[in-house]
Chain A
Amino acid sequence: MANFNIDAKKDMVYDAIVIGSGISGGWAAKELCEKGLKTLVLERGRIVEHVKDYPTMNLDPWDSELRGVLTPEQRKKHQVSIRSNWVSTDTAHFWADDEANPYTEVKPFLWLRAHQMGGRSLLWGKQTYRWCDLDFEANSKDGHGVDWPMRYKDIDPWYTYVEKYAGISGEPLGLPQLPDSHFLPPMKLNCVEKHVKSRIEKEFDGRHLIIGRCAHLTVPHNGRGQCQYRNRCSRGCPYGAYFSSNSVTLPAAHATGKLTIRPFSIVQSIIYDEAKGKATGVRIIDAETNEDIEYSAKVIFCNASTLSTTQILLNSKSNRFENGFGNDSGELGHNLMDHTYRVGAMGKVEGFDDKYYKGRRPNGIYIPRYWNIDDKTKNDKFLRGFGFQGGGYRGGNAANSENFGTDFKESILKPGPWEFFITGFAECLPYHDNQVSLNTDVLDKWGQPTLAIDSEFKENERAANKQIKEDAVEMLQKSGLKDIIGFDNEHPPGYAVHEMGTARMGLDPKTSVLNGFNQVHAAKNVFVTDGACMTSSSCVNPSLTYMAITARAANHAVSELKKMNL
């Protein structure tokens, strides 16, 4: 697979334009192309072809001169993303240029971006969990935000559809709060994880410890190879063993012959035709030549990533939409959510010193939500719920030993002590005042307005975090761990990289931007199916839901096109 068609035609009306090629954009492209639509994908960065453009995928530490350490120039270029501590020379080429793409933190917010074909689907954590009706009904039940215009039964078949294609490994549990996916065989727990599992499940009614459900192939699937347990995923996987747009959806779209993907295409705005009452295309700036170009299409899918999609909509002003495209409700840019993260506990595990593992499993454990599921599990201190991710491994920090010299050197050649940690991810409520707006005082490299992000965790999130820390410490204590440390690093939003909302779906055009099929209420040929569309945030990772929502919306778009409704 190679040689994407990058020759976009200015004078042609495409059936569909997809803005962005990350997790949701890749799915939009695949679905629309496979249903016969001539589709133009606009990607603001470069082409990244599967395998061919993964320069670091096989490098050992000693193969690079600085063994992963960034130079001052690289740190300047990635001044935002390095705050995550995930950027090294192994992956720096997949992270956005933060200098060229500034944003303003009215309150601290880590906005991690990846500007190339495939976007963050190359770098994501690959944890994949279905949402449930607790999630889709949450707003309606406790009155925060607006009701979702869909329920679990509406998205259930689309979960199955995308799971069968993407390949999700995991173990079925039959829990209502964490519906099972269509699974490939699960990865394995190691002996320490099994030990902690048995203790937690014995000590705490209703709590489960399971292997993470993830978009890694544990068996060959749809022509892709299975995981080789190298844990070098973020450099790009030569086996195609984890789901990315580059390895899965874009090659499928390309295979139809219907796909054009234009790189270096920064979408400036969506063009609205007042007479027709719909969008007719998009304006782009060529990132390399600064040329302004317009492309036309019958339907437009916005998949630029949560905040970039909203930035484009806010910047798409017209007589009809003075405050941003489809913003009759005034909700565009509002109700930004993320998950809390980096709060939990860790400790040492004794009794397994003669055990080790082989292979670097790119996955950990998961403890599904157990609070506020029913009357019995009601917690008065906070609304909604949280789950934990974590894992057991042999770690330790040899430098902390107070020894040195011959015996010390020999000792550190052996694996360190077993450690086990869990870190919670709590659902965040949709608050109107957690918002982004266009900032015309700070322009990007191409002279475009940038985003000002004004968002914070509030009382409910802090209460959930308090419970997370208490529960985490208690679970590790009852599992018999030693040297337990509870922690709450009190990070600002953005660090979980689950930013959601700002163009929410809803039943009422007066209080939401999108309808139940992700169409802009006031311009039904424009669909938003990335994280911007989310009406609430659940406590589980959102990417699988983006995939399912996108496939469902694309199906609807094609059906409506055929009925001449768009």
Chain B
Amino acid sequence: MDRRSVLKKTGLVAGATVAMPTLLSLLQSCWNEPRLTWKPEFFTKEEATTIGTLVEMILPRTDTPGALDVKVDVFIDRVISQTYDQEGQQNIRNEITTFNNRCKEKFGTNFASLDVSERVEVLKAEEKSTGKFNPGIWGITIGDQEPIGFYRSMKSMAIWAYFTSEVIGEQVLSYDPIPGSYEPCKPLSEVGNRWSL
């Protein structure tokens, strides 16, 4: 199916951010290279598409919003643009290129252009090959931290951006800005999802 005709039929045009899950899966099946619907501060269009595809693979839309629904990609771009120094920004740029090169070596094209099963294969390999975060207490990393690598750093950033987004923080996770008391041992079933704050 032609991507443009699907977009026209569903009314899903640039700028629209809400689509029904069925429509999205319909699009995903034929829309190998998603079109960017926002203007990055730091990323090139290709980089932004890579990151957007990656974070949605990690945190896809289900009956709860996915990473792109809460603009995880937009936020990651903003954080890198406004808080990374030049060296950090260049590193990210290099790492995205390297990541896409690995995809090209294996499947002949960059990550965003792979079909879903190929993306899964790439991410499974990344999961095996990238380092893990040491535990931390009070903001302190315990022990000597091995290098994390691009994929898990981005996964961590995506989860953080997802959890700290307004929709997830207020409507999906358990939200209680002023608990008023400490109840030390509640049945989990009475709380449900993890606390957002």
Interface residues of A (CB under 8 A from B): 58, 60-62, 65-67, 69-72, 84-86, 187-191, 193-194, 228-230, 342, 346, 353-361, 390, 394-395, 397-400, 402-406, 408-410, 412-416, 419, 421, 423, 485, 487, 489
State A454–B155 Cα separation when bound (angstroms): 42
Contact partners of A69 in chain B: CB under 8 A: 79, 83
Contacting residues of chain B (113-128) with chain A, CB-CB under 8 angstroms: 120, 123, 127-128
Q: A66-B83, A357-B185, A358-B176 are in contact. List 18 more A-B contacts (CB 8 A).
A: A61-B197, A67-B75, A72-B85, A229-B181, A357-B184, A358-B179, A358-B191, A359-B179, A359-B181, A400-B152, A404-B58, A404-B127, A413-B64, A413-B173, A419-B135, A487-B142, A487-B143, A489-B142
Contact partners of B64 in chain A: CB under 8 A: 409-410, 413
**In the assembled complex, B32 has its CB within 8 A of some CB on chain A:** no
Is the Cβ of A356 less than 8 Å from the Cβ of B78? no
Contacting residues of chain B (127-186) with chain A, CB-CB under 8 angstroms: 127-128, 132-133, 135, 137-140, 142-143, 152, 155-156, 159, 161, 164-166, 169-170, 172-173, 176-186
Is the Cβ of B128 less than 8 Å from the Cβ of A402? yes
State A189–B57 Cα separation when bound (angstroms): 39
CB-based closest 8 A-B pairs: A399-B156, A85-B139, A359-B182, A359-B179, A61-B164, A190-B184, A191-B185, A62-B166
Contact partners of A355 in chain B: CB under 8 A: 185-188
Question: Size range of the interface on B?
Answer: 35 or more
Is the Cβ of B128 less than 8 Å from the Cβ of A229? no
**In the assembled complex, B194 has its CB within 8 A of some CB on chain A:** yes
Contact partners of A191 in chain B: CB under 8 A: 184-185
Contact partners of A342 in chain B: CB under 8 A: 140
CB distance from A267 to the nearest CB of B (A): 33
Contact partners of A354 in chain B: CB under 8 A: 187-189
CB distance from B176 to the nearest CB of A (A): 7
28 residue pairs A–B, Cβ–Cβ below 8 Å: A58-B177, A60-B197, A62-B169, A84-B139, A190-B185, A191-B184, A228-B179, A229-B182, A230-B178, A353-B188, A354-B188, A356-B191, A357-B185, A357-B186, A358-B182, A359-B180, A359-B181, A400-B133, A402-B127, A404-B155, A410-B62, A413-B173, A415-B188, A415-B195, A416-B194, A423-B138, A485-B135, A489-B143
Contact partners of B132 in chain A: CB under 8 A: 397, 400
Contact for A358 among B85, B156, B159, B181, CB less than 8 A? B181
Is the Cβ of B179 less than 8 Å from the Cβ of A360? yes
State A207–B138 Cα separation when bound (angstroms): 24
Contact partners of B184 in chain A: CB under 8 A: 188-191, 193, 357
Is the Cβ of B180 less than 8 Å from the Cβ of A398? no
Contact partners of B190 in chain A: CB under 8 A: 356
CB distance from B52 to the nearest CB of A (A): 15
Is the Cβ of A399 less than 8 Å from the Cβ of B191? no
Is the Cβ of A397 less than 8 Å from the Cβ of B194? no
Contact partners of A194 in chain B: CB under 8 A: 185
Contact for A66 among B82, B133, B165, CB less than 8 A? B82
Nearest opposing residue in chain A for B152, CB measure = A399
Is the Cβ of A228 less than 8 Å from the Cβ of B178? yes
**In the assembled complex, B27 has its CB within 8 A of some CB on chain A:** no
State A414–B192 Cα separation when bound (angstroms): 7
Is the Cβ of B137 less than 8 Å from the Cβ of A421? yes
Contact partners of B57 in chain A: CB under 8 A: 404-405
Contact partners of B182 in chain A: CB under 8 A: 187-188, 229, 357-361
**In the assembled complex, B59 has its CB within 8 A of some CB on chain A:** yes
State A416–B62 Cα separation when bound (angstroms): 20
A61, A85, A228, A355: residue with the most chain B Cβ atoms closer than 10 Å: A61
Q: A229-B180, A346-B135, A398-B159 are in contact. Are A60 and B169 (CB under 8 A)?
A: yes
Is the Cβ of B169 less than 8 Å from the Cβ of A61? yes
State A472–B66 Cα separation when bound (angstroms): 41
A60, A189, A360, A410: residue with the most chain B Cβ atoms closer than 10 Å: A60
Nearest opposing residue in chain A for B123, CB measure = A404
Contact partners of A404 in chain B: CB under 8 A: 57-59, 123, 127, 155
Q: A70-B83, A228-B180, A399-B156 are in contact. Are A408 and B58 (CB under 8 A)?
A: yes
State A414–B196 Cα separation when bound (angstroms): 10
State A409–B70 Cα separation when bound (angstroms): 14
Nearest opposing residue in chain B for A125, CB measure = B138
Nearest opposing residue in chain B for A345, CB measure = B142
**In the assembled complex, B193 has its CB within 8 A of some CB on chain A:** yes
**In the assembled complex, B34 has its CB within 8 A of some CB on chain A:** no
Q: A413-B173, A413-B194 are in contact. Are A406 and B185 (CB under 8 A)?
A: no
State A397–B134 Cα separation when bound (angstroms): 9
Contact partners of B194 in chain A: CB under 8 A: 394, 412-416
Contacting residues of chain B (75-96) with chain A, CB-CB under 8 angstroms: 75, 78-79, 82-85
CB distance from A539 to the nearest CB of B (A): 18
State A161–B140 Cα separation when bound (angstroms): 36
CB distance from B159 to the nearest CB of A (A): 5
Contact for A397 among B120, B135, B187, CB less than 8 A? B135
A187, A400, A412, A414: residue with the most chain B Cβ atoms closer than 10 Å: A400
State A328–B194 Cα separation when bound (angstroms): 60
Contact partners of A413 in chain B: CB under 8 A: 64, 172-173, 193-194
Contact partners of B75 in chain A: CB under 8 A: 67
Contact partners of A421 in chain B: CB under 8 A: 137
Contact partners of A190 in chain B: CB under 8 A: 184-185
**In the assembled complex, B40 has its CB within 8 A of some CB on chain A:** no
Contact partners of B186 in chain A: CB under 8 A: 355-358
CB distance from B5 to the nearest CB of A (A): 28
Contact partners of B156 in chain A: CB under 8 A: 397, 399
State A103–B13 Cα separation when bound (angstroms): 57
Is the Cβ of B159 less than 8 Å from the Cβ of A357? no
State A395–B133 Cα separation when bound (angstroms): 13
Is the Cβ of A85 less than 8 Å from the Cβ of B140? yes
State A355–B183 Cα separation when bound (angstroms): 11
State A355–B188 Cα separation when bound (angstroms): 5
Nearest opposing residue in chain A for B153, CB measure = A399
